[in-house]
C-alpha cells in the first residue's frame, strides 16, 4: 500500500504523487479563515488517493469549534469524497486500523490564537487520558504532536514530545506507522524497535511537517510502502 503523509501545511498545499492513502496530521491553514479552509478542502478533494484522512492541530480552531466533519464541509459547501476526519476516533482502510488524535500540551509562550486541541502542560493526567483512548490494536496512529524523544527536538535541541504518548506507544503491539508534526524542526523518518511482551516490532515514525522552523513550505510529503 502506497501511503503519503504530510502535516503543518499552514496554507501552503504541496504536490503529492497520488497513491492509496493520504494522511494529514493537522495545522492546515495560515489564519484559520473560512477562505483558507475552502482552499484546503479544494486541495484535498483534488488529491489522487483512494482514501484521505486528516486530524486537527493547535492552529485548527475551525475544527475544534465544529461538531462533525459533515458539518464542517457543509459550512464551506465542499464535500471531498473518500475523506475522513478523525478526532479521538478511528476507521479501517484495507484492513488497517487507523486512529487520530489532535491533542498537544500548551506552553507559557503559546500564541493565544493557536490553542485548539491543547491541554495545559501542567495537567499531564488530562493529556494522558487522551492517549488512553487509543485502542490496543491500532496499526496506524496519527497525532498532531510527537512522542518524547522521537523526532521532537526544536532548534535548541530540546525534546518537546509527550512522555505519556511515548509510554502508550510501548503498549501498541500492532503499530506499524505513527504520523505526526507540530515540531517543524524535526521533519523526517525514524525506525524504532519496540519489545512488546517479548515480541519485537519495528514501527515507522514520521514527523511530516511541511513547514520548517521559519514557516517555509520546503519539506515535501513523505511516501512509504506499507
Residue 128 main-chain phi, psi, to 5 deg: -65, -30
CA distances from residue 175 to 2, 29, 54, 133 in whole angstroms, order as listed: 17, 29, 18, 15
pLDDT at 195 over 70: no
pLDDT at 34 over 70: yes
pLDDT at 154 over 60: yes
- Confirm if 5 and 54 have CB atoms less than 8 A apart: no
Q: What is the pLDDT of residue 201?
A: 62
Q: What is the pLDDT of residue 30?
A: 87
* Reported pTM: 0.93
Q: Please report, for the chain, the start and end positions of each structural domain, with discontinuous segments joined by +.
A: 2-225
pLDDT, tens digit (0-9, with 9 covering 90-100), for 82-103: 999 999 999 999 999 999 999 9
Q: Among candidates 43, 59, 155, which has minimal Cα distance to 113?
A: 59
pLDDT at 75 over 90: no
Q: 2-225: which CATH architecture?
A: 4-Layer Sandwich (3.60)
CA distances from residue 105 to 13, 153, 213, 223 in whole angstroms, order as listed: 26, 15, 19, 28
pLDDT at 11 over 90: yes
Those residues whose C-beta lies under 8 Å from the C-beta of residue 127, and which sit 6 or more positions away, are: 103, 105, 119, 162, 164
Average pLDDT, the chain: 91
Q: What is the pLDDT of residue 202?
A: 77
pLDDT at 167 over 90: yes
Q: Report the C-alpha gap between 105 and 162 in whole angstroms.
A: 8
pLDDT, tens digit (0-9, with 9 covering 90-100), for 103-112: 999 987 788 8
Amino acid at each position: 500500500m502506497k501511503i503519503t503523509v504530510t502535516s503543518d501545511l499552514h496554507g501552503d498545499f504541496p504536490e503529492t504523487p497520488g497513491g492509496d492513502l493520504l494522511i494529514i496530521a493537522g495545522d492546515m491553514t495560515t489564519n484559520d479563515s473560512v477562505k483558507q479552509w475552502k482552499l484546503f478542502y479544494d486541495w484535498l478533494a483534488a488529491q489522487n488517493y483512494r482514501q484521505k484522512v486528516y486530524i486537527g492541530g493547535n492552529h485548527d480552531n475551525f475544527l475544534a469549534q465544529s461538531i462533525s466533519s459533515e458539518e464542517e464541509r457543509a459550512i464551506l459547501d465542499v464535500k471531498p469524497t473518500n475523506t475522513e476526519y478523525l478526532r479521538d476516533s478511528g476507521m479501517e482502510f484495507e484492513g488497517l486500523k487507523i486512529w487520530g488524535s489532535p491533542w498537544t500540551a500548551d506552553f507559557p509562550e503559546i500564541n493565544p490564537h493557536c490553542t485548539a486541541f491543547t491541554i495545559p502542560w501542567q495537567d499531564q493526567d488530562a493529556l494522558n487520558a487522551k492517549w488512553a483512548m487509543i485502542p490496543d490494536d491500532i496499526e496506524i496512529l496519527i497525532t498532531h504532536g510527537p512522542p518524547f524523544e522521537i523526532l521532537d527536538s526544536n532548534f535548541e535541541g530540546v525534546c518537546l514530545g509527550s512522555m505519556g504518548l511515548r509510554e502508550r506507544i510501548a503498549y501498541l503491539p500492532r503499530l506499524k506507522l505513527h504520523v505526526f508534526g507540530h515540531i517543524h524542526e524535526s521533519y523526517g523518518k525514524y525506525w524504532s524497535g519496540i519489545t512488546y511482551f517479548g515480541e519485537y516490532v519495528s514501527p515507522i515514525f514520521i514527523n511530516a511537517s511541511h513547514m520548517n522552523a521559519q514557516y517555509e513550505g520546503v519539506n515535501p510529503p513523505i511516501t512509504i510502502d506499507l
